Every structure is written in C-alpha cells, then in structure tokens.
Structure 1
C-alpha cells in the first residue's frame, strides 16, 4: 500500500491592511530542526490588531519582528507568536511543545526553540504561554513584593494574568480596573478585586497599565500613591498618547517605567535567559482557573473570515485556534 501523502502546509497571511487569506507554504528545514504538527495557536489581540491594520511604526519594523515571522509589516506578512504542537520525528517525537510561531498547520524550527510543555499544563491552555511570559516580565519590572498594593488598569489577557500572578504574592492587594463591569467576575476568579475607572482607589504602591489608551494611562496616574511607580506595559504602535503630567503626577512625585517582553529586567538578567523565562511561564499555567481567559475558539480553516472581527471585539481575551491536522 502507498502511504497517503501529507496535506500541504497552510498558513495565515495578512496580505494587506485588514485583509487575510490562507496560503500554502513550504516548511523550511535546517540543521537540528524538528517538525511540529500544530494542535492550537492563539491570537494576541493587542499586537496582532496593530499588525492587521498596518500600524507598526516603520522605525520599529525590525525590533517588532516575531521570531519566525515571514514577510514584513508593509505586507504581506505571516505574523503570530503562540503555537502548541506535537513533534513529528527525531529524538523528541511525540513531545508536546510550545513555540513562538505564527498561525500555521505544520512548521519546522530549531529544536532549542521548541519548549517542552509540563504534563500538568493541557496543550489547549498552553497557548497562553506568550501572554504569561509578558505578565511575568511585567511583575519583575514592577518589583511586586509581599504586602504591595497593586492596581492594574486594563483587564485584557495580559492585565488579567499579571493580576493573577500578583495576587499570589503573600499579603498583596490587587485591583483590576476596566471600563467593562462584566470583567468583575473574571477578576474575582483570579483572586483580584475589581472596579471601574471612576471608582479607582488612589493610593496604590504600584500601578500597571495595559489598556493601550490615553484614558487608561490617566487612570493609572490617578491611582498611584505618593512616590509610586507606574509600569507602562501597553504598546501603542504608531498612535500618539496624551499623558496628563500636571497636578497629581508632579505633586505625588510619580515615576513611569516601560516594560517590554523583548528584554529581561536588569536585576534578573544575570540569572535568567529567554528560554528559562518562557519555560517558567508555561509551568505557571497549571492552574485550571486560567481557562477563564480563553474567550473563544475558531477552526483554522475559518480563520480568514473571522480574524478581523475577533481582533475588533473588545471582549476578546485569548482567542484559540484549533487545527484539524492532528
């Protein structure tokens, strides 16, 4: 009998601003590469929405490239960084791994770039790994410690995961702030208090801003106590931001510090590298409560017709893509 040939490898491409299609693509092999059959990937709404609309500043086209991106931000581009799959051959055959790879049915990457998934973490939840890695880095940058009073402005997936981590530090008080009151239930599941911007407490030791809006940053400034630190974890793309630096900002001697997952905090860098950080982020996903952050699921074949609406829906947290080639 003749073995059935494998179906062609397919990937989601953004062909121009606000337009996508699935294209057949070659698998690019290399030394010490492994082939992975994708089980799930996920949409990172904040960043992918900016890429989808062509809003990545030209000055950042190199720095904002995803690890295995093809094409560039002037289109066409294959973009994404959260894939979970099964190794198909070699010494790691059968292993379930996470990779910073775009939305594609199968792919080949260097073995060191495929991070083993702890058996305690289901593959369907492991798609949160890139977001958890960002949240972990934010927590490091913020210097959250026992007894801290932490306010998080923006209840998206990164803000929620950051709240989840902070709330598990002994003695912390964590409040998530969002314009959508329906996020209160999610905050409670994660061990956090909740409020809307008009009722935000004004004495936080540290404030973490993740909403990528000028109004959210103003709320963060209002929430900060005397000599507190505001961690700006949003990425605005080519949007300009209005920052209210009068009155309270000066009177309270506040600091605004950026956090970006592309760099490891200086005080952690001597002991941590990117692989170790990502591995730890995956391990932190063992808690079933984090399934609450999966706000929807779409079959890969249906992704082009739904991609734009998923990105535009403000209720989207982590939207999971499932693949039928498994």
Structure 2
C-alpha cells in the first residue's frame, strides 16, 4: 500500500492509505519518496484554511490533489528514487514539486535528477532557491547596490545566500528572531534588528509575512527605491503605510510571486529552467543549516500543527524534513 497526506478541514489533517500506483503510458516513472519538506509559509495558510477562493486556482501546487475548499493534498518539496520506469531512469534520485506522498507517478519533465554531491535533504530546498532566484530576477540588483532583506525565514535566508554571491556594496538581513540573526552572522552575512536596519537602500526585499516588516521596508528604502513584496498573506489584509512621505519620495512596491517567471526573463527562461537553476544553486554548504528538524513521515500531522501554531517551535522552524525509510 501507499500513503498520501490530506488536509480535510482547517487545522485538521491525516494520512490516507491508498493502493500503490504503477506506471502507465501517461506517467512512465514511479518515485518512491525518500523525503519531503514542510514549506511553512504557504503550507501554514493551506493548513489554516486561509487561501482566498478568488485566487485558489492560482495557488494550486503543480501536483495537488483536491481543492482548497477541502479535502486537499498539498505540498511541493519532495525527493525520491525512481523504482519503476525505463532503464536510464531506474535508481535515479530526483526532485519534484510534489505533495507529501509515499509514491508518485510522473513524467520526465516533472522531475530533476539530483547531482551526486547534493544530499536528499539539501535537494528539498530547490523550491526555496527557485523562489529566491525569482525574487532577485524581479528587479535585479546592480553592481554596488545596497540591498536589505526583511525576514530571515526559509525564503529570506535562501535569498540572502543567493544575494551574498553578488557584487553589492551592502547586504543586510533584518529579523526579530535572535537565533536567525545568529545563523546569518555565522554565515558571514550582516543581520540586524529592525531598529538597527540601515537606511537609503536601493532595493528592499520583504519576506517576513507581517505588515510591520513591510512598513519597515518602506522606511529604509531610499528615494526612488524599490520594495519587492514577496510575502503572501492569504486572506489577511495588511495595513500598508502609503501616507507621510511615500509619494514625495517616489517609492515603488513590486509584487513577486513564483507562479510566473518575472518580466525581463519570462521570454528567455521557462519555469523548468528556473527550477534547474535553483537546484544548481545548492552547491553552497550553508544551505544545510536551513534544515532545522527531521522527523519520520508519520509525524507530519503533529509537526504541521506545531509548526503552524505561534510559539517556540514555529519560531525555530525554517525547513522541517520528513524521511520515508
């Protein structure tokens, strides 16, 4: 038998036992999952029932089963081994934008082979790296720019590791969590409290998911500067401070969402090429520090509840991995 993780109502989820699938003409590859990861930001909104009906179709995961009105089987960070399929693929480790299932039927176009030098756990961060690349493509930093990232969760920290390779005059990460600031500092990246954030930035990337973070981003970006809003709020309606000097300083807020390749790249890069770039970016060993917990797959419902409930566990979670021995 095989297993699938389903959310059946807000904050209610469980595993379902299903027949083990077998390959067919439409899906010639079968993956035996070795690990999946919890993408806390988006999966919190799905788990809590906070996906607005008006954009439910836009927010579907590539291999999602069911709908956000419940029940829904959601997730998009999975790695595994091809155990059914043609010889060139058999035994190949692959990453896919797939939900929390023990087995998957896929086509070759839906997965990426994982290089030998990248572990299963690190390969799960391909989705985060792809999102970070998309953010940096949204309004690309230029040589000598001053860039600040507000929010050091999984996406913010990943974007920081990517931006750290760029020839910037200043890269600064802002977060209220001292443990996350300490991690960035150990990476050699400047991390500060919101109060200590440097001003006059060329670009501020906001990924904290809180309206206070967006307000601080607008305060520290320089005149004519750009705030890239990469947080997704679900059905929340954050207050955006567009009074005071917002217009006088000619500030810009640009939305970034990984569902599409941004203008400026979308005519020359496909989403598959962007995903491949995300996997290739994981050669940096610092990515391993983003794995903040590892559990057996059967513990996913309990861990999901803990990770989506405000408290110490949620604060400490960046990327939680579930293993399928």
For the aligned pair, the TM-score class normalised by the smaller chain equals: over 0.9
In structure 2, the gaps of 5 or more residues are none
Alpha-carbon distance, 1:172 to partner: 3.9
Tell me if structure 1 keeps the 8 A contact 2:147–2:168: no
Q: 41, 53, 57: which one pairs with 1:58?
A: 53
Residue aligning to 2:282: 285
Q: 184, 204, 215: which one pairs with 2:181?
A: 184
Alpha-carbon distance, 1:248 to partner: 3.0
Residue aligning to 1:19: 12
- Structure 1 residue 230 corresponds to structure 2 residue 227: yes
User: Which whole-Å CA distance do the structure 1 matches of 2:125 and 2:188 have between them?
Assistant: 18
Alpha-carbon distance, 1:148 to partner: 1.2
Per-residue deviation, residues 189-222 of structure 1 (Å, max 9, x unmatched): 3442111111211111100000111111001101
User: Which whole-Å CA distance do the structure 1 matches of 2:32 and 2:230 have between them?
Assistant: 32
Q: 198, 211, 216: which one pairs with 2:213?
A: 216
RMSD: 1.3
- Structure 1 residue 321 corresponds to structure 2 residue 322: yes
Q: For 1:59-78, what aligned pairs fall within 5 Å after superposition? A: 59-78=54-73
Gap change, CA 1:28 and 1:17, over 3 Å in 2:
farther
Q: 305, 308, 311: which one pairs with 1:308?
A: 305
Q: What TM-score do you get using the length of structure 1 for normalisation?
A: 0.94
Alpha-carbon distance, 1:163 to partner: 1.0
Gap change, CA 1:28 and 1:94, over 3 Å in 2:
closer
Q: For 1:1-326, what aligned pairs fall within 5 Å after superposition? A: 8-26=1-19, 27=21, 29-30=23-24, 31-89=26-84, 90-91=86-87, 92-312=89-309, 313-324=314-325
User: Which whole-Å CA distance do the structure 2 matches of 1:169 and 1:232 have between them?
Assistant: 20
Alpha-carbon distance, 1:298 to partner: 1.1
Tell me if structure 1 keeps the 8 A contact 2:27–2:105: no
Tell me if structure 2 keeps the 8 A contact 1:189–1:289: no
Tell me if structure 1 keeps the 8 A contact 2:42–2:232: yes
User: Which whole-Å CA distance do the structure 1 matches of 2:260 and 2:115 have between them?
Assistant: 24
Q: What TM-score do you get using the length of structure 2 for normalisation?
A: 0.94
In structure 1, the gaps of 5 or more residues are 1-7
User: Which whole-Å CA distance do the structure 1 matches of 2:128 and 2:22 have between them?
Assistant: 26
